Amino acid sequence: MKIPELREKINSLASQSSHLEPEPDQRKEWFQQVGDYAEHFLKGLNERPVFSTTSGDPTQWSSDFLPDHPAPLPQLLAFVTSEIDAHGLDPASEGHLGYIPGGGLYPAALGDFVAAVSNRYAGVFFASPGAVRLENHLVSWMADIVGYPSSSAGHLASGGSIATLAAVVTARDAKEIKARQIPDTVVYCTNQVHHAVNKALRIAGLGEAIVRFVPTDKRFRMDVQALEVLLKEDRKKGLHPFLLVASAGTTDTGAVDPLAELAPIAKANNLWFHVDGAYGGFFVMSDLVKHLLQGIDQSDSLVIDPHKGLFLPYGTGTVLVRDGAALQNAHSYLANYMQDTLRATDERSPADLSPELSKHFRGMRMWLPLRLFGVAAFRAALDEKILLARYFHQSLAEREGFEVGPEPDLSVVLFRYCPKQGDADEFNRALVQAVQEDGRVFLSSTTVNQQVYLRLAVLSFRTHLSTIDRCLQVLEETVAQLLK
Ligand SMILES: *Cc1c(COP(=O)(O)O)cnc(C)c1O
């Protein structure tokens, strides 16, 4: 093509591609329509069931899923409402009391909007000093609240699992675990450890390492003496103890391992000490329970999830590593085409501390709510969750027929109903299913010591006393119905 022809062709393509840049009036209209959708969604939270067994209408999806021609936004938002929002579990609901509840603070959504509109490049300091500095400040703030030194480092990841992978890879490299040693390398945790840890070990190439499940006490916490016995035995066998994983709040029962007792054992045995605080880490902000988390500052690495304990929408986890250089050694890489980005005055870049290069500017969704509401509101919400769990535990213990697990360390309560006749496990399986189908609250179940237990997990910022009272009422009504 000659240049005039080329110009003509380019201009004719631009008349189509410029549809990708809407006019200001169109933007305002769309913004309004999305805002209306959000209001409608939030107003309906208490009218919709927390859980629906339906999955939508697949025929709405199959034919011409992504056509060439444009569609009006209200039609697309109606599709979201009918095909996505109405089915399965509603993590935004105050009644979500199963698994580990999610959040979804409204200003976090606004933060995502701001970050996506400006699309600042938050991977490298050179590209957006402000975005990177914001994320570095958030990481330092988290390091500070858990008691890590200023020489620590970390990054905002997409969630706890990916953050765990970064921690395991850092541990592997810091302890110089080579391929041939892996079959003799030993990892210590309890059987309550989150499967994200096992998954991370396998992805990090440590799938052939030996995993020792250290016995737990009655409250599902790691038994320190049992750990010491295992360590001695393994050394005698000529094995290579490498990694100790403790939980700061297990998913199943909310148990916190005795971190302060474990830390010196890890040190004496030259173990990398990792703490999984994906669920429970932010409870260091609560004066009610922070004593339980003592020793968390002595860990070598820590995972702490703002999309759990800070009530953010899904997509934000954090890894912190006490020796920041170890995190950097495991993740930094130089590419020729990035040579302009190296300047001595630069602050740390997420790209040098994480597996990601181009990444979502996650800091904006975290900073905006923290600043807009102030940190005190978060501290109060965390205290409230702890007390709501204690309230539920005590209230249920007083009710005939219910058996409660240990007093909760954090905000997870284990319980079951003990019918006078029949199989208790079967009854409790039926109970959890009936509660889920009822839809006023959502609970999940687990198996502990070979018995089926129901779990109540309080972590939604929308869950308040009236929600827990509703849950107690639903349980009483459902048990009565099942006994009929
Ligand atoms: C949720 C959770 C994880 C996994 O984190 P994701 O953000 O879901 O990937 C790991 N450990 C514990 C204790 C958790 O509660």
Tell how far the Cα of 79 is from the centroid of ligand 1, in angstroms: 30
C-alpha 167 – ligand 1 centre gap (Å): 13
pLDDT in the model for residue 334: 76
pLDDT attached to residue 181: 96
Q: Give the ligand 1 atom nearest the CA of 159.
A: 7
Nearest-CA residue for ligand 1 atom 8 is 160
CA of 163 to the centre of ligand 1 (A): 9
pLDDT (tens digit per residue) in 380-394: 999 999 999 999 999
The CA 227 to ligand 1 mean position distance, Å, reads 24
Dihedral over Cα of 437, 440, 446, 449: its sign: negative
Least reliable range by pLDDT among 85-89, 284-288, 330-334: 330-334
Distance from residue 334's CA to the centre of ligand 1 (Å): 31
Q: Name residue 378's amino acid.
A: F
Burial of 364 (0-12, 13-18, 19+ CB in 10 A): buried
Each residue's pLDDT tens digit, 194-223: 999 999 999 999 999 999 999 999 999 999
Residue 344: is its pLDDT beyond 80?
no
Residue 277 CA to ligand 1 center (angstroms) comes to 8
Amino acid 362: pLDDT: 98
Can you give the pLDDT at residue 176? 98
Cα–Cα distance, 474 to 453 (Å, whole number): 17
Q: Which residues contact 138 (CB under 8 A, 6 or more apart)?
A: 156, 363, 366, 367
Q: Which residue has the CA at smallest separation from atom 6 of ligand 1?
A: 160
Contact call for residues 248 and 296 (beta carbons, < 8 A): yes
Question: Over the stretch 30-50, which tens digit does the pLDDT of each residue have?
Answer: 999 999 999 999 999 989 999
Other Cβ atoms less than 10 A from the Cβ of 20: the count is: 6
Question: 3-state secondary structure string, 351-402?
Answer: HHCCCCCCCCCCHHHHHHHHHHHCHHHHHHHHHHHHHHHHHHHHHHHCCCCE
Name the pLDDT band for 167 (thresholds 50, 70, 90). very high
Q: What percent of the chain has pLDDT over 70?
A: 99
Atom of ligand 1 nearest to the CA of 248: 13
Would you say residue 304 has pLDDT above 70?
Answer: yes
Residue type, 420: K
Q: State in Å: Cα 441 to ligand 1 middle.
A: 22
Render the burial of 152-165: b for 16+ CB within 10 Å, e for the rest. Answer: bbbbbbbbbbbbbb
To test the pocket of ligand 1, the residue of 192, 305, 311 to mutate (highest count of ligand atoms within 8 Å of its CB) is 305
Q: What is the structure's pLDDT at 340? A: 72
pLDDT above 70 (res 342): no
Lowest mean pLDDT among 136-150, 325-339, 420-434: 325-339
Report helix angle 160-174 to 324-331, nearest 10. 90
pLDDT of residue 336: 74
- Rounded to whole angstroms, the Cα distance separating 404 from 396 reads 7
**Least confident interval from 67-76, 245-254, 336-345:** 336-345
The binding-site residues of ligand 1, defined as CB within 6 angstroms of any ligand atom, are 100, 159-161, 194, 196, 247, 251, 276, 278-279, 305, 317
Lowest-confidence region among 105-119, 163-177, 257-271, 324-338: 324-338
**Residue 196: closest CA among 324, 303, 330:** 303
DSSP helix/strand/coil, 98: coil
Q: How confident is the model at residue 335 (pLDDT cuts 50, 70, 90)?
A: confident
CA distances from 198 to 208, 211, 245, 335 (A): 11, 9, 11, 32
Nearest CA to ligand 1 atom 2: 278
Determine what percent of the chain falls in helix, strand and coil, rounding each to the nearest 5: 50, 15, 35
Question: Could you count the other beta carbons within 10 Å of the beta carbon of residue 262?
Answer: 25
* CA of residue 40 to ligand 1 center, whole Å: 30
**Probe ligand 1: pick from 203, 252, 307, 308, max atoms within 8 Å of CB?**
308
Share of the chain above pLDDT 90, in %: 95
Contact 320, 155 (CB under 8 A): no
Q: Give the model confidence (pLDDT) of 236-245 as tens digits.
A: 999 999 999 9
Mutational pocket test of ligand 1: of 96, 193, 194, the residue with most ligand atoms within 8 Å of the beta carbon: 194
Please tell me the distance between residue 335's alpha carbon and the centre of ligand 1 in angstroms.
32
**Which residue has a Cα nearest atom 15 of ligand 1?**
279
**DSSP 8-state symbol, 65:** S
For residue 80, the 8-state DSSP code is I
- Rounded to an integer, what is the distance from CA 363 to the centroid of its chain? 15
| Integer CA distances (angstroms), 295 to 15, 262, 302, 327, in order | 62, 8, 12, 21
pLDDT by residue (tens digit) across 306-319?
999 999 999 999 99
Tell which residue, 403, 397, 436, has the closest CA to residue 420.
Answer: 403
Atom in ligand 1 nearest the alpha carbon of residue 250: 13
